[in-house]
Structure 1
Amino acid sequence: MNDIEEDNNKWAASSDATTFSEKASLSEDLDSCLPENLEAEELQLALNKEANGDELSKAINKCRDLILENEQCSFERKWLVRHLIELRLRLQEYKEAMEDPLHPRNKNSGVSNRTVKGHHLKLQPLLRNASYKYCDHCTGTIWSVVQAWYECEDCGYACHYKCIASILRECAHVIACEKGQYELNICPEVGMSAQKYQCAECKAPLILTAPSGITSCLGKLFLPDKEWSDVKKCDYTGLYYCSACHWSSSAVIPARVVHNWDLTPYLVSQASLQILRITANRPLINLEKLNPRLFSLVQELNLVRRLRQELQGLKKYLVVCRKAKEEHLLWKCDRPHLIDNTDMYSLQDLLDTQSGDLLTKLHNLVEDFSTHVKINCEVCKGRGHICEICQNEEILFPFVSTAYICDKCNSVYHKNCIARVRDLCPKCDRIKERLLKESENNNNGE
Structure 2
Amino acid sequence: MEYDERLALFRQTHLNPFDRGEEEDHLEGGLVSQVSLKTKPELFSGPKTHNSDRTMDLGLAEDHFSRPVGSFVASDIEQLKQAIGECKKLILELPEHSERQKDTVVKLIHLRLKLQELKDPEEDEPNLRVILEHRFSKEKSKSVKQTCDKCSAIIWGLIQTWYTCTGCYYRCHSKCMNLITKPCVRSKVSHQSEYELSICPEIGLDRQDYRCAECRTPISLRGVPTEARQCDYTGQYYCSTCHWNDTAIVPARVIHNWEFEPRKVCRSSLRYLALMMSRPVLKLKEINPLLFNFVEELVEIKKLRQDILLMKPYFLTCKEAMEARLLLQLQDRQHFVENDDMYSLQDLIDISSGRLSCSLTEIHTIFAKHIKLDCERCQAKGFVCELCKEGDILFPFDSHTSVCQDCSAVFHRDCYYDNSTTCPRCARMTERKQDDEPYEKGAEHQK
TM-score > 0.5, shorter chain as reference: yes
- Asked if 1:205 is matched to 2:207, the reply is no
- Judging changes above 3 Å, is the alpha-carbon distance between structure 1 residues 441 and 160 closer, same or farther for their aligned structure 2 residues? closer
Q: How far 1:145 moved relative to its partner?
A: 2.9
SS in 2 for 1:379: helix
Q: Where does 1:225-244 land on structure 2 (aligned, <5 Å)?
A: 228-244=225-241
* Contact 2:117 2:159 survives alignment (8 Å): no
Match of 1:317 in 2: 314
* Contact 1:89 1:146 survives alignment (8 Å): no
CA distance in structure 1 between the aligned counterparts of 2:303 and 2:267, rounded to whole angstroms: 37
* Contact 2:144 2:156 survives alignment (8 Å): no
TM-score, scaled relative to structure 2: 0.75
Pick aligned residue for 2:153 from 117, 122, 140: 140
CA distance in structure 2 between the aligned counterparts of 1:348 and 1:122, rounded to whole angstroms: 28
Match of 2:186 in 1: 173
Q: How far 1:293 moved relative to its partner?
A: 1.9
Q: Any unmatched runs of 5+ in structure 1?
A: 1-31, 99-104, 210-224
Q: How far 1:325 moved relative to its partner?
A: 2.0
* Contact 1:285 1:345 survives alignment (8 Å): yes
Match of 2:297 in 1: 300
Match of 1:354 in 2: 352
- Judging changes above 3 Å, is the alpha-carbon distance between structure 1 residues 85 and 395 closer, same or farther for their aligned structure 2 residues? farther
- Asked if 1:164 is matched to 2:155, the reply is no
Q: How far 1:259 moved relative to its partner?
A: 2.0
Match of 2:110 in 1: 87
* Contact 1:398 1:404 survives alignment (8 Å): yes
SS in 1 for 2:130: strand
Q: How far 1:195 moved relative to its partner?
A: 1.2
Tell me which amino acid in the other structure corresponds to 2:214: E
- Asked if 1:282 is matched to 2:297, the reply is no
- Asked if 1:250 is matched to 2:247, the reply is yes
Identity of aligned residues (%): 34
CA distance in structure 2 between the aligned counterparts of 1:208 and 1:230, rounded to whole angstroms: 6
Q: How far 1:133 moved relative to its partner?
A: 2.0
1:72-91 Cα offsets, whole Å, 9 max, x none, are 54475565445445534544
Pick aligned residue for 1:125 from 116, 137, 140: 140
Match of 1:377 in 2: 375
Identify the structure with bigger relative contact order (alpha carbons < 8 Å, sequence gap 6+).
1
- Judging changes above 3 Å, is the alpha-carbon distance between structure 1 residues 424 and 78 closer, same or farther for their aligned structure 2 residues? farther
* Contact 1:126 1:146 survives alignment (8 Å): no
CA distance in structure 2 between the aligned counterparts of 1:406 and 1:141, rounded to whole angstroms: 65
Match of 1:408 in 2: 406
Pick aligned residue for 1:269 from 266, 269, 272: 266
CA distance in structure 2 between the aligned counterparts of 1:90 and 1:263, rounded to whole angstroms: 42
SS in 2 for 1:142: coil
Match of 2:256 in 1: 259
Match of 1:397 in 2: 395
TM-score, scaled relative to structure 1: 0.75
Q: How far 1:154 moved relative to its partner?
A: 1.5
Q: How far 1:443 moved relative to its partner?
A: 10
CA distance in structure 1 between the aligned counterparts of 2:206 and 2:397, rounded to whole angstroms: 56
1:137-184 Cα offsets, whole Å, 9 max, x none, are 111122233322211111121111221111122211111111111111
- Asked if 1:345 is matched to 2:343, the reply is yes
SS in 2 for 1:336: helix
1:108-131 Cα offsets, whole Å, 9 max, x none, are x3512221222211111142xx36
* Contact 1:150 1:160 survives alignment (8 Å): yes
CA distance in structure 2 between the aligned counterparts of 1:126 and 1:87, rounded to whole angstroms: 19
Q: Which of these two proteins has the greater Rg computed from alpha carbons?
A: 2
Deviates more, 1:110-119 or 1:344-353: 110-119
Q: How far 1:373 moved relative to its partner?
A: 1.1
CA distance in structure 2 between the aligned counterparts of 1:290 and 1:355, rounded to whole angstroms: 22
1:282-312 Cα offsets, whole Å, 9 max, x none, are 1111112212221122111111111111111
Q: Any unmatched runs of 5+ in structure 2?
A: 1-13, 25-31, 37-61, 69-79
